[in-house]
Each structure stands twice: as structure tokens, then as C-alpha cells.
Amino acid sequence: MSTDERRQLARHERRRRVPEERPGPTVPARVDPLVARSQARPPATARTRALTLRSVPALPPPPAPQRSLRDVLRDAASELWEQFNPPLIREINDEVAERLRRVPTQINEYGFDPWGLNIDAVRRALVVTTLMYRYYFRVETFGVENVPDGPVFVISNHAGQIALDAAMIFTALVLEREPPRIVRGMGEFFLPTVPFVNLLMSRTGSVVGTPKNCIDLLRQQEAVIAFPEGIRGMNKLFSERYTLQRFGTGFMRLALAAKTPIVPVAVVGSEEQAPAIANLTQLGRVLGLPAFPITLTFPWLGPLGLLPLPAKYRIHIGKPMHFEGDPDDEDAVIGRKVQRVVDTIQGMLDEGVRQRPGIFF
Amino acid sequence: MQKVLITGIAGGQGQLVTRKLLQRERGYQVLGIDRRPWETRPRGVGMTLTDVRKRKFEDIVRRERPDTIVHLAGVRHFKAHPAVRHEINVNGTGRVLDFAIAHGVRQVVVLSSSYVYGALPENPYYMDESFPLNSSRTYPEMRDLAEMDMLATAYLWRHPDITVTVLRPVSILGYHIHSTIGRYLKRDRVPTVLGFNPMVQFIHEDDVTEAIVLAVERGVRGAFNVVGPGAVPLHVAVREVGSHSLPLPEPIVRPTIAQLFRWGLYPFPPRAIDFAKYQCTLDGRRFRDATGFTPRYSLAETFASVRS
């Protein structure tokens, strides 16, 4: 090695930070990050700062608290919100917050559970869905006591072009059940690739519907919801309303593997929120969408046409069904078990449709 | 006394492992190789200035006959030519393993990383060791790390008489080491993708050191995920280390980073931004069950170790 190289290496070594023998890790006092942040920002107004300067001229001005533009905007937005927040929303917010306090979760010191759920985000989402639940769809939920404690697999029909049925079941289990439960959705595979949608999904507790995620959640005593019809059900035409499409068999294998009860759910009303008269799958494919439904309002009214009709929702929750057997049985065996779930939900749907006094009331 | 040879001993992680091994009651004789000197190393630690690609390295293994090799040497930054990265990371690891077999070494511990699993939208949370190493599908610049990992795990069945331990720690943060994620988070403006905020797991450098030493002590065999105290969304991590994130829409952030990377103004290739979009979270139960490892540092302490 040349002297030049050696000198270069020595310089390199000197520049490196040399680890010292440490008696142990320096442990900073554990502080609630939310509290710490609010304390880090003293409310120094221009007025108080001017006063301090005049009375003690020798002192340098106190360092301005570091506030990024985003903080300023966020504070302004929350102040505006406080000003114009109607009492109804405040009431719902308090009610939802109170109920969420009783939901068992595994939140860490930063406010997130292992799957990215954040209670504040859930609360904000629930304020919106509660408004829809009570005043738009005027949801009636029957048999909410049929959802047991502990791991449970909720299986429902799926309809209405947008997954509002999932949101309404989620809301029902927080608002109506004692104690409230957060049900974790099993999302489509393309959802994590959509900006913001993936955030809404994971912050409210949903995950990509892989078998691994589902089994993990059930083993952690969570309630999981799945729509085995998937897009087939959601984007079916109005002429096929309340006839269940082909069910996947994956959910049954997972329920058998995790030894969890299945709670069948029939949502009546979701079919009428956006009656589709055609589905242009080819056009959807060009646009990178899973479907392109033509409804009474979409695409004629543009984005406004996505607004669902105010059909009255009735959610029927059936008694838990228990299945036993080998999760790796052949399709025919699993299929028979799936058929029992399909028949149960179809029966509840037919009964619900027959008994309802009307579509919109 | 058990003799441990550490490749890359002068690096932050190498220094920490050396000190921890010397503190252990069981007593270890530590020696190492590196391209950089370590002048302030503790008394009794033998060190040779060489490189895993050099013949001198084999001479040392033949002469010293260590019981264990802890293989930490490797190129992690992207300033090096891909051929150099491949030569050191893949072929270098192959040489370490071959010499170990030729000269009666009992155990080789290879430090891989969680990134080998890749950040893909369909990733489930908390992947275990049996998941395929998908990183090269979306991140070809990291193919060498996945290849290194697979090469090492292949020795598990090719040479059952030698104990190979592959450790895949999650994102490491700490004062002494220069991890990729640490350099990313400590930028003045951390570029992120608007509308995405994946969960990221972190572990303190000292816990990784403990994991490596435990792997040596217990002589465990196989590939292991090494997981720290938990996961937080990326933006929370950026805030906690005292930086600011710069969320940009994906159609802007990708070409910008690609151009800056080409000019050498930004240290990470554009494909790396996938790790700011999708999660790559691991299940660490297997290592915990095999060695009794539990992380000692909380998330807050881990972030505090790199806060500026």
C-alpha cells in the first residue's frame, strides 16, 4: 500500500465516529408523542413576543417555534372546523369516540396497531359513515347480538357498485353491538396501488385479502369480513339483484384452518343504491378499472353520478355457523360447506326482500 | 476459547459486534478483516487490511482456522458500479462460504436484510422466512442482495455439515451504523409518494448486534427474520427522526429521482421508492423461538438514536 493510500485511509478512519464503551443504552423518558408535540409548540402570538422584547431588551428574541406550512394549515383547518362544526356532528363524534374507547385493539405508543389501524382515523371515518348510516340509508340492523366475541368470520353478499355495504356493516358493529367491535375488511388486490384509497383502507383496519393476512387476524382474535362474491357481486346488473353470484371457496378453507365461526350477513337495500343497466368491462379494462357500470346516473352526471340513491338499508345478521373438517379437503367437500353458507344468505335475502315495506322507506 | 472472524470488522456493525463479543462471559477471541483500518480497536483484536475478493483472505482463514465467521462485509450503497456490488456481495459471500467449508469453520453468520423480500402491493403483513425473495421484481438494483441471501441459504442443503445462519433484520437505525434507511430518513427533505404511507418496522443497531451475537452463541441454523419493537407508518418515522417528508405525486417523484440518481445527486435508485409505497413487514417469531431474542430498545429510543 502506498503512503498516499495509507494517509487517505487514516483520514477516513479519523472522520469515522468511533463507538465508545457505553454502560448501557441511554433511555430517554417515555413520553406520549402526541403530548410532546403539543408541548413543543407554545402558543406564542405576535403580541406576546412583542411585549417580551420591549420589557427585556437585552434578551435575544425567543426562538420562534418551528412550524412548517403544513402545521399552520392544519391548525387553521381545525380552527375553522371548530367554528362551523354543527352540534349534530359534534354529538356523533363524541358518541363514536366513546364507543371506540371500548374496542379492544393492539395500539402501540404511536397510535397504530400492527396492521396500520389508527383509532383517530377510524373515528373520523365513522363520523361520515354514521351520518350516512342514520340519515341517508337509515339503516336498520337485525340480529347484531349474533356476532360473538373472539375470532369471527363475517360473510356477506356484495352489491351496489361501490362498497358501501362494507362501510355500513362496519358502522353497525361499532354503533349497535355491545361491546362494539371493529371488523377488518379483506380488500381487493388492486386497492393498495391506489393513492389515498390504500391509506383509508389500512388506517381503518382493512388489509389485502391474502390468506396469510386473514389467518393472522383471526388468530389475533379479530373479526374479519369478506365478500366471497367479490367484484362479480358488486358490479352485477340490476336484473340479477338479490341473486348471489358464485362464491369463492377460499373463505371456507380459512375458517376451517383458523377454526372460527362464520356469521352470515344479508344486506337488503344495497342493490337499489345504484342500479346498473350495463357493465362495459372492456372500457373498464382500457381505463384500468375492474368494471365500468352504466347506472341511471353514471356516467351521465359525471362524478356526481357516483352518488348512490337513498335506498333504505336493512342488515340481517344470522346465527353463527360452525364448520369442522380438513381445510385441504377437495373442492367438492368444501363446496358443499360453502353452499350451506350461500343457501343461508340467499334465504335471508329472499326473506328480507319479501318482508320490507318499500325500497326507499 | 471460540475464535470468531468478522469480515467488515471496521464498519459500524462490525465494531459493535466485536465489542459485544468481548463483553460476553463465555469469552471469544475476535479477529477480522476490512479494507479500512480500525486503529482504536480493543486490545487483543487481530485485524488485517484485506478484502473478501483477495487471496490474502483465504490465507487468513487457513492460518487462523476460526470456529465462526460473521460475514458483514458488503456494499450497500448505489454509488458503486453494479458489477462491483455483484462481485463483492454475491461472489464475495460465495468465497467466504467456500473457504469456511474448506478450512473446517463450524458456523457462518451472514447478515442479509428484510429488503430482499421486496415491497410489493400484494405483500401480506408479517411475512415469515418461507416467503419468496421478490425484491428483484421491482427493484433490480438490489438483485445482488437477494442473490447473496439465496446463495447462503442454498448452503443449508448443499453442505449440511456446516451451520449457516442468515439474518434478515428489518430497517436498522443507530448512531454508529450508516444504514440505507437511516440515510434516507435523515435527508433534509425526505421524498415520499403522495397518498402512500406504508408501515415500516425498525430495529436499533444494538439489538441487531445482540441478534448476531446470539446467533453465534446458540449456533442456530437457517434463515431468520430479526424484528424490532414494532412498526409505524413511514411519515411518523420521518417526523420522529426530526426530518420533514416531501410527498410528491408518483408521476413526478419517479422521473425526478431517476434523473437526480443518474446525475449522482440522489443516492437511491428510483425503484427504491416502492419501499415508500408498500409495506415489507416481517414476522420474527422463528428467531425469537430459536434464541430467546427480544429487542431491548423501544421505537422511541430507536428513533432517538438518529435524531439530529
Domain with B250 in it:
2-304
Nearest to A199 among B39, B195, B206 (CB): B195
Which CA distances in Å does B235 have to A16, A72, B17, B185, B200?
A: 29, 18, 31, 10, 10
pLDDT tens string A311-323? 999 999 999 999 9
Q: DSSP label at B308?
A: -
Question: How is the beta sheet containing B171-173 ordered, strand by strand?
Answer: B171-173, B199-204, B230-233
| Structural domain contains residue A104 | yes
Alpha carbon of A239: minimum distance to chain B alpha carbons (Å): 34
DSSP string, B254-306: HHHHHHHHHTTSSSS-GGGGGGGTS---B--HHHHHHH-----S-HHHHHHTT
| Structural domain contains residue A108 | yes
Query: Which residues have a Cβ under 8 Å from the Cβ of B155 and sit 6 or more positions away?
Result: B97, B101, B108, B162, B164
Strands of chain A, DSSP E: 140-142, 152-156, 183-187, 207-208, 223-226, 262-268, 276-279, 293-295, 314-317
B252 touches chain A (CB under 8 A): no
pLDDT of B79 above 60: yes
Whole-angstrom distance, CA of residue B45 vs CA of residue B255: 48
Nearest to A199 among B15, B197, B204 (CB): B197
Alpha carbon of B211: minimum distance to chain A alpha carbons (Å): 16
| Structural domain contains residue A187 | yes
| Structural domain contains residue A331 | yes
Q: Note whether A205 and A285 are same-domain residues.
A: no
Cα–Cα nearest to B281, from B200, B174, B160: B200
Q: Which residue has the higher pLDDT, B261 or A18?
A: B261
CATH of the domain at B130: 3.40.50.720
pLDDT value of position A52? 42
Helix axis angle, B55-64 relative to B92-102, nearest 10°? Answer: 30
Tell me the residues of A at the B interface, defined by beta carbons under 8 Å apart.
1, 9-10, 12-13, 16-19, 21, 25-28, 30-31, 33, 68, 108-110, 112, 114-116, 189-190, 192-199, 202, 207-208, 210, 212-213, 216
To test the contact with chain A by mutation, choose from B20, B56, B232 the residue with the greatest count of A C-beta atoms within 10 A, namely: B232
Handedness of CA B227, B231, B233, B239 (dihedral sign): negative
B56 touches chain A (CB under 8 A): no
Q: Note whether A280 and A204 are same-domain residues.
A: no
Between positions 114 and 153 of B, the ones with CB within 8 A of A are 121-127
- Tell me the chain B residues in contact with residue A189 when contact means C-beta distances shorter than 8 Å: 121-122
pLDDT value of position A64? 58
The beta-carbon contacts of A131-136 under 8 Å, at least 24 apart in sequence, are A131/A89, A131/A92, A132/A164, A132/A167, A132/A168, A132/A171, A133/A168, A133/A171, A133/A172, A133/A175, A136/A310
B176 touches chain A (CB under 8 A): yes
- Tell me the chain B residues in contact with residue A31 when contact means C-beta distances shorter than 8 Å: 300
Minimal Cα distance from B20: which residue of A? A21
Amino acid occupying residue A275: P
Half-sphere exposure of B271 (CA within 13 A, CB side): 14
Cβ-defined contact of A189 to B236 (cutoff 8 Å): no
Asked if residues A173 and A144 have their Cβ atoms less than 8 Å apart, the reply is yes
Q: Would you call B173 helix, strand, or coil by DSSP?
A: strand
Cβ-defined contact of B199 to A108 (cutoff 8 Å): no
Cβ-defined contact of B195 to A195 (cutoff 8 Å): yes
Residue B283: what are its φ and ψ, rounded to 5°? -100, 120
| Structural domain contains residue A146 | yes
- Tell me the chain B residues in contact with residue A198 when contact means C-beta distances shorter than 8 Å: 195-196
Helix axis angle, A119-131 relative to A164-175, nearest 10°? Answer: 100
Average pLDDT for B42-54: 94
Asked if residues B167 and B224 have their Cβ atoms less than 8 Å apart, the reply is yes
Query: Which residues have a Cβ under 8 Å from the Cβ of A145 and sit 6 or more positions away?
Result: A177
B244 touches chain A (CB under 8 A): yes
pLDDT value of position A8? 60
B243 touches chain A (CB under 8 A): no
Q: Note whether A157 and A284 are same-domain residues.
A: no
Cα–Cα nearest to A123, from A73, A87, A89: A89
Q: Note whether A289 and A194 are same-domain residues.
A: no
| Structural domain contains residue A241 | yes
Residues of chain A falling short of pLDDT 50: 15-31, 33-44, 46-57
- Tell me the chain B residues in contact with residue A114 when contact means C-beta distances shorter than 8 Å: 125-126, 199, 230-231
Q: Note whether A299 and A265 are same-domain residues.
A: no
Cβ-defined contact of B127 to A210 (cutoff 8 Å): no
Whole-angstrom distance, CA of residue A345 vs CA of residue A228: 12
Q: Note whether A187 and A294 are same-domain residues.
A: no
Phi-psi region of A302 (alpha: psi -120 to 50; beta: other; left: phi over 0): left
Nearest to A109 among B123, B233, B299 (CB): B299
Count Cβ atoms below 10 Å from residue A60 Cβ, excluding itself: 7
Cβ-defined contact of A13 to B297 (cutoff 8 Å): no
Domain with A287 in it:
274-307
Q: B222: which strand partners?
A: B165
Q: What does chain B come to in residues? A: 308
Number of domains in chain A: 2
What is the pairing mode between strands B230-233 and B199-204?
A: antiparallel
Cβ-defined contact of A112 to B232 (cutoff 8 Å): yes
Cβ-defined contact of B19 to A21 (cutoff 8 Å): yes
Amino acid occupying residue B110: V
B297 touches chain A (CB under 8 A): yes
| Structural domain contains residue A75 | no
Cβ-defined contact of A208 to B123 (cutoff 8 Å): yes
CATH of the domain at A220: 3.40.1130
Q: Note whether A150 and A285 are same-domain residues.
A: no
Q: Note whether A89 and A201 are same-domain residues.
A: yes
User: Is the entire prediction scored with pTM above 0.80?
Assistant: yes
Give the distance, in angstroms, between the CA of residue B91 and the centroid of all CA atoms in the same chain.
17
| Structural domain contains residue A213 | yes
Q: Which three cell numbers stand for residue A237?
A: 346488473
Q: Note whether A278 and A333 are same-domain residues.
A: no
pLDDT of B140 above 90: no
What number of C-beta contacts closer than 8 Å exist between A and B? 107
pLDDT value of position B28? 95
Q: Note whether A289 and A347 are same-domain residues.
A: no
Q: Note whether A144 and A262 are same-domain residues.
A: yes
Q: Note whether A263 and A302 are same-domain residues.
A: no
